[in-house]
Amino acid sequence: MSTPLLVVDVQRCFLNEFTRHIPERIARLIMEGDYEPVLFTRFINAPDSPYRRYLGWHDCAEAPETDLAPDLERFAAKKRVFSKQGLTGLSEPLIAYLRQEKIAEVVLVGIDTDMCVLKVAMDLFDIGIRPVVMADCCASTAGLQAHLAGLAVLARNIGAQQLREAGLSDGQIAAPVEEK
């Protein structure tokens, strides 16, 4: 079995000017065919969530906001999409799947580097699975500084050697400027 790819929360509700380039990069990465299986997490802002209670944030609660980004839908097998609520990085069904398959390493890509990707990577690390983060296939809805802050925290907590480049950034650290 090759190394699994885990696509973290690349959903319609998290696509903005800072993240819009990520689904296309991830689709290119998947089409290269070096990863199997391709797994997805999907955040759902539940009615009783702390996001609603403490932050007053009610978005990303139902379709179409919770749907995967259009560029990635075709790659998502139903049994390989794991829904989660809150800052939970790994849902119990996803942990069970990873353990059942005896997975030792997972390559991570997704949105938000400073929140969900970070939490998933640290959760994998805590359960003894090596997380490898493809930095150029991650971004933050809060922008470049949040993305870089997430990478800095990841380097400290899971090891800088776990941060890699997929070679899909076309030499740009920030989201490409949209041509008008």
Type of residue found at 84: K
Residue 23 lies in a domain: yes
pLDDT score, position 151:
97
Task: Count up the domains in the chain and report the number.
Answer: 1
Residue 146 lies in a domain: yes
Residue 62 lies in a domain: yes
Residue 47 lies in a domain: yes
Q: Does position 125 have pLDDT exceeding 70, yes or no?
A: yes
Cα distances (Å, whole numbers) of residue 148 to 5, 17, 70, 118, 140: 21, 16, 26, 11, 9
Residue 170 lies in a domain: no
Domain that holds residue 106: 5-164
Is the distance from CB of 9 to CB of 42 less than 8 angstroms?
yes
pTM of the model: 0.94
Helices (H) and strands (E) in the chain, counts: 5, 6
Neighbours of 46 (CB within 10 A): 14
Residue 49 lies in a domain: yes
Residue 43 lies in a domain: yes
pLDDT score, position 127:
96
Q: Is the peptide bond before 93 cis (omega within 30 degrees of 0)?
A: no
Is the distance from CB of 170 to CB of 142 less than 8 angstroms?
no
81, β-bridge pairs: 40
CATH number for the domain spanning 100: value is 3.40.50.850
Q: Quote the longest CA-to-CA distance of the chain.
A: 49
Is the distance from CB of 1 to CB of 32 less than 8 angstroms?
no
Q: Does position 98 have pLDDT exceeding 90, yes or no?
A: yes
Residue 180 lies in a domain: no
Q: Does position 86 have pLDDT exceeding 70, yes or no?
A: yes
Q: Does position 70 have pLDDT exceeding 80, yes or no?
A: yes
